Amino acid sequence: MLFPKQMVHRVTDISPEDLKAKGIKGLILDIDNTLTTHDNPIPSDGVSAWLDSVRASGIQMLVLSNNHAPRVEPFAKILGLDFIAEGKKPLTGGFKRCAKALGMNRDELCIIGDQIFTDVLGGNLFGCHSILVEPIQPESTAFFKFKRFLEKIILFFYRKRA
Protein backbone atom coordinates (compact mmCIF):
# COMPACT_ATOMS: atom_id res chain seq x y z
CA MET A 1 0.00 0.00 0.00
CA LEU A 2 2.96 2.31 0.58
CA PHE A 3 5.00 1.14 -2.40
CA PRO A 4 4.91 3.19 -5.60
CA LYS A 5 4.35 1.28 -8.84
CA GLN A 6 7.38 3.05 -10.25
CA MET A 7 10.13 5.43 -9.13
CA VAL A 8 12.07 8.05 -11.08
CA HIS A 9 14.45 10.90 -10.32
CA ARG A 10 12.43 13.75 -11.91
CA VAL A 11 9.10 14.04 -13.73
CA THR A 12 11.09 14.90 -16.84
CA ASP A 13 12.48 11.33 -16.80
CA ILE A 14 9.00 9.93 -17.48
CA SER A 15 8.36 9.26 -21.16
CA PRO A 16 4.85 9.73 -22.55
CA GLU A 17 5.37 6.62 -24.75
CA ASP A 18 6.06 4.58 -21.62
CA LEU A 19 2.89 5.86 -19.98
CA LYS A 20 0.83 5.05 -23.04
CA ALA A 21 2.32 1.57 -23.21
CA LYS A 22 1.01 1.05 -19.68
CA GLY A 23 -2.47 2.12 -20.75
CA ILE A 24 -2.27 5.46 -18.94
CA LYS A 25 -4.40 8.21 -20.46
CA GLY A 26 -4.42 10.78 -17.67
CA LEU A 27 -1.92 12.17 -15.17
CA ILE A 28 -2.71 13.54 -11.73
CA LEU A 29 0.15 15.88 -10.87
CA ASP A 30 1.43 17.03 -7.49
CA ILE A 31 3.09 20.47 -7.42
CA ASP A 32 5.36 21.01 -4.45
CA ASN A 33 8.71 19.27 -4.81
CA THR A 34 7.38 17.45 -7.90
CA LEU A 35 7.00 20.15 -10.58
CA THR A 36 8.94 22.79 -8.66
CA THR A 37 10.26 23.50 -5.16
CA HIS A 38 7.93 24.46 -2.29
CA ASP A 39 6.16 27.79 -2.86
CA ASN A 40 8.20 28.50 -6.01
CA PRO A 41 5.94 30.16 -8.62
CA ILE A 42 8.18 29.03 -11.52
CA PRO A 43 8.20 25.42 -12.85
CA SER A 44 11.56 23.64 -12.53
CA ASP A 45 13.92 23.35 -15.49
CA GLY A 46 12.48 21.27 -18.29
CA VAL A 47 9.04 20.88 -16.70
CA SER A 48 7.17 23.09 -19.18
CA ALA A 49 8.76 21.32 -22.14
CA TRP A 50 7.95 17.95 -20.56
CA LEU A 51 4.31 18.96 -20.09
CA ASP A 52 4.19 19.96 -23.76
CA SER A 53 5.50 16.56 -24.81
CA VAL A 54 2.94 14.79 -22.61
CA ARG A 55 0.20 16.98 -24.05
CA ALA A 56 1.37 16.28 -27.59
CA SER A 57 1.12 12.56 -26.91
CA GLY A 58 -2.59 12.95 -26.14
CA ILE A 59 -2.31 12.25 -22.42
CA GLN A 60 -4.45 14.58 -20.32
CA MET A 61 -3.33 16.14 -17.05
CA LEU A 62 -4.75 17.69 -13.90
CA VAL A 63 -3.11 19.18 -10.83
CA LEU A 64 -4.08 17.73 -7.44
CA SER A 65 -2.40 19.51 -4.55
CA ASN A 66 -2.91 19.52 -0.80
CA ASN A 67 -1.77 23.12 -0.79
CA HIS A 68 -4.17 26.08 -0.71
CA ALA A 69 -5.76 27.68 -3.77
CA PRO A 70 -3.64 30.89 -3.59
CA ARG A 71 -0.58 28.69 -4.12
CA VAL A 72 -2.09 26.18 -6.54
CA GLU A 73 -4.18 28.36 -8.85
CA PRO A 74 -1.49 30.71 -10.26
CA PHE A 75 0.92 27.80 -10.73
CA ALA A 76 -1.65 25.65 -12.52
CA LYS A 77 -2.48 28.64 -14.69
CA ILE A 78 1.16 28.97 -15.80
CA LEU A 79 1.05 25.30 -16.78
CA GLY A 80 -2.30 25.70 -18.49
CA LEU A 81 -3.86 22.97 -16.36
CA ASP A 82 -7.05 22.59 -14.36
CA PHE A 83 -6.48 22.01 -10.69
CA ILE A 84 -7.90 20.80 -7.41
CA ALA A 85 -6.49 22.57 -4.35
CA GLU A 86 -6.73 21.28 -0.76
CA GLY A 87 -6.97 17.83 -2.26
CA LYS A 88 -6.61 16.09 1.14
CA LYS A 89 -4.37 13.34 -0.24
CA PRO A 90 -4.13 10.48 0.76
CA LEU A 91 -7.95 10.58 1.02
CA THR A 92 -9.39 9.43 -2.28
CA GLY A 93 -11.98 12.22 -2.75
CA GLY A 94 -9.63 14.39 -4.80
CA PHE A 95 -8.61 11.43 -6.96
CA LYS A 96 -12.26 10.65 -7.65
CA ARG A 97 -12.87 14.26 -8.67
CA CYS A 98 -9.89 14.04 -11.05
CA ALA A 99 -11.24 10.83 -12.61
CA LYS A 100 -14.62 12.44 -13.06
CA ALA A 101 -13.17 15.66 -14.51
CA LEU A 102 -11.08 13.69 -17.02
CA GLY A 103 -13.82 11.14 -17.69
CA MET A 104 -11.43 8.25 -17.09
CA ASN A 105 -11.31 5.02 -15.12
CA ARG A 106 -8.87 4.66 -12.24
CA ASP A 107 -6.71 2.18 -14.14
CA GLU A 108 -6.22 4.77 -16.90
CA LEU A 109 -4.85 7.30 -14.39
CA CYS A 110 -1.45 7.80 -12.81
CA ILE A 111 -0.52 9.99 -9.84
CA ILE A 112 2.92 11.57 -9.99
CA GLY A 113 4.24 13.01 -6.72
CA ASP A 114 7.12 13.21 -4.27
CA GLN A 115 5.50 11.91 -1.08
CA ILE A 116 4.70 8.35 -0.09
CA PHE A 117 2.16 9.23 2.61
CA THR A 118 0.07 11.54 0.42
CA ASP A 119 0.66 10.91 -3.30
CA VAL A 120 1.55 7.20 -3.38
CA LEU A 121 -0.74 6.08 -0.57
CA GLY A 122 -3.64 8.08 -2.03
CA GLY A 123 -3.06 6.62 -5.49
CA ASN A 124 -2.89 3.11 -4.10
CA LEU A 125 -6.06 3.56 -2.02
CA PHE A 126 -7.79 4.95 -5.08
CA GLY A 127 -6.45 2.21 -7.32
CA CYS A 128 -4.53 4.10 -9.99
CA HIS A 129 -0.93 3.80 -11.17
CA SER A 130 1.65 5.75 -9.15
CA ILE A 131 5.06 7.19 -9.90
CA LEU A 132 7.18 8.53 -7.04
CA VAL A 133 9.69 11.23 -7.91
CA GLU A 134 12.60 12.25 -5.72
CA PRO A 135 11.86 15.54 -3.90
CA ILE A 136 13.57 18.38 -5.79
CA GLN A 137 14.82 20.02 -2.59
CA PRO A 138 15.07 18.76 1.02
CA GLU A 139 12.50 20.30 3.39
CA SER A 140 13.54 22.07 6.57
CA THR A 141 10.66 21.53 9.02
CA ALA A 142 10.93 18.85 11.71
CA PHE A 143 7.63 17.27 10.65
CA PHE A 144 8.80 16.93 7.06
CA LYS A 145 12.16 15.56 8.12
CA PHE A 146 10.36 12.92 10.15
CA LYS A 147 8.16 11.99 7.17
CA ARG A 148 11.21 11.74 4.92
CA PHE A 149 12.91 9.52 7.51
CA LEU A 150 9.92 7.14 7.47
CA GLU A 151 9.92 7.24 3.67
CA LYS A 152 13.57 6.19 3.65
CA ILE A 153 12.69 3.08 5.66
CA ILE A 154 9.86 2.22 3.26
CA LEU A 155 12.07 2.82 0.22
CA PHE A 156 14.76 0.58 1.71
CA PHE A 157 12.28 -2.32 1.62
CA TYR A 158 10.92 -1.20 -1.75
CA ARG A 159 14.39 -1.35 -3.31
CA LYS A 160 15.12 -4.70 -1.68
CA ARG A 161 11.95 -6.09 -3.21
CA ALA A 162 12.55 -4.59 -6.65
Interface residue list for Mg ion (CB under 5 A):
30, 32-33, 114
When the beta carbons of 33 and 124 are compared against Mg ion, the nearer one is: 33
Q: How far is the CB of 58 from Mg ion (least distance, A)?
A: 26
Q: How far is the CB of 70 from Mg ion (least distance, A)?
A: 17
Q: Which residues contact 126 (CB under 8 A, 6 or more apart)?
A: 92, 95, 96, 106, 111
When the beta carbons of 30 and 151 are compared against Mg ion, the nearer one is: 30
Q: How far is the CB of 103 from Mg ion (least distance, A)?
A: 25
Q: How far apart (Å, rounded) are the C-alpha atoms in residues 143 and 109?
A: 30
* Burial (Cβ within 10 Å: 0-12, 13-18, ≥19) of residue 58: exposed
C-beta of residue 102 within 8 angstroms of C-beta of residue 109:
yes
The alpha carbon of residue 6 and the mean position of all alpha carbons in its chain are separated, in whole angstroms, by 12
When the beta carbons of 66 and 92 are compared against Mg ion, the nearer one is: 66
When the beta carbons of 32 and 108 are compared against Mg ion, the nearer one is: 32
* Burial (Cβ within 10 Å: 0-12, 13-18, ≥19) of residue 88: middle
When the beta carbons of 33 and 92 are compared against Mg ion, the nearer one is: 33
Strand partners, 129: 110
Q: How far is the CB of 78 from Mg ion (least distance, A)?
A: 17
Q: How far is the CB of 30 from Mg ion (least distance, A)?
A: 4
